[in-house]
Structure 1
């Protein structure tokens, strides 16, 4: 089996049964996402959620930025590592789905540490002067390069940047892709690999997660 193929349901169950338990609020959120959205596969889900949580807990970041909220699963996973004075800002432009993450953020013990903004991420990054310890990007692929260039100067030394969907269903192996998103993701992966300001590794988890540490 190649790394970009889906794991069997049996293997997925095995991996979930041999990992730390998913918090109850995330179980409820995952269930509602599959019941009420047309593209539930966009949710980070159990395995990636536990990875985001562990990385956040290792860093104990005071300032976290997430680009692409969807229903808020990754947001709540990342929030698990926040210190008492930590804060996560999550950005999305989908007003129609905003009620779902807002509902779960309000129910969460991290409610006072989550800033949910319906705002264009490029506009936010161009006007914000904040520096971040941890950034997670899981949004529109066509703007991935722009996000990367705008985020880089706002990420602290030792900070971590995570970019989702960087294998793009295996399409990054295409020599001359015609699809715009595929071209951008390939260009981004090439750029990161040559950027001496970062150490990075692409994890073949789900659709690929590029994990970067700023030197």
Structure 2
């Protein structure tokens, strides 16, 4: 679902920071070789993620849902010199693809891949995070949130993707549509959680920015 016209989306991209060369190659190869390439963050959202990272200057970053690693590299753009990015995904077949591009970037040695269910992996990460990007299994968003908030530094930022869910948040929820129901509950949770302040941005499929108090 396009919340603004494709022509206006194109104008926005043309008048935003250009897509870095390595990310353009990753974008192209994802569309050539990987299933469901629309899952890629892409040029505009990638520039938003990169800009937020540069403003935050995180030391430790957590990403839930790596896919081909496009957003991972964007999140690294503002990472401090001794920082780390920990990224979690369940798709073993994408590990080598991700690593190829990670190692072509300036941050290869600072990016740590975790394979498996995020709900099992997050509790074992003995770190406090400054920046988190949630972009995986929507049915687990509330579970992710409850695991992540206690691991955040004060002033840390949690980004949640796809919170408008192609506009389904405004439509009657079908009986078996668990993802939409969870996202509706999740959006209310973030708005009302006294531990954070939250703004939902209409970027692509909806991006929520939550700042830990």
TM interval, short-chain normalised: over 0.9
Between 191-200 and 174-183, report the one with greater CA deviation. Answer: 174-183
Aligned-residue CA RMSD (Å): 1.2
Structure 1: how far apart are the matches of 2:5 and 2:152? 37
Please point out which of 147, 150, 155 is paired with 1:153: 150
1:164 aligns with 2:161: yes
Match of 2:23 among 26, 49, 63: 26
From 199, 206, 209, the equivalent of 2:207 is 209
Question: Does the residue aligned with 2:19 lie in a helix, a strand or coil?
Answer: coil
The change in CA–CA distance for 1:177 and 1:187 in structure 2 (over 3 A counts) is farther
Tell me, yes or no, if structure 1 residue 136 matches structure 2 residue 133. Answer: yes
TM-score between the two structures when normalised by the length of structure 1? 0.95
Can you list the C-alpha shifts for 1:155-199, whole angstroms capped at 9, x where unaligned?
111000001000111111134443100000000111111111111
Match of 1:81 among 78, 82, 87: 78
| Aligned equivalent of 2:97, options 88, 96, 100 | 100
Q: Distance in 2 between matches of 1:188 and 1:63?
A: 24
C-alpha distance in structure 2 between counterparts of 1:195 and 1:177, whole Å: 27
Taking structure 2 as the reference length, what is the TM-score of the superposition?
Answer: 0.96
Q: What are the Cα deviations for residues 108-142 of structure 1, in whole angstroms up to 9, with x where unaligned?
A: 11111111221321111122221100000100111
Residue aligning to 1:188: 186
Deviates more, 1:145-154 or 1:91-100: 91-100
Show the counterpart of 1:53.
50
Aligned position for 1:198: 196
2:38 counterpart of 1:44? no
Count of paired positions: 212
Q: Distance in 1 between matches of 2:148 and 2:51?
A: 22
Deviation at 1:99, TM superposition (A): 2.0
Where does the alignment leave 5 or more consecutive residues of structure 2 unmatched? none
Q: 2:116 aligns with which of 115, 119, 125?
A: 119
Task: Return the alpha-carbon distance in structure 2 between the equivalents of residues 151 and 84 of structure 1.
Answer: 23
Q: Partners of 1:40 and 1:213 in 2: how far apart?
A: 30
Unaligned runs of 5+ in 1: none
Distance (Å, rounded) in 1 between the aligned partners of 2:79 and 2:116: 23
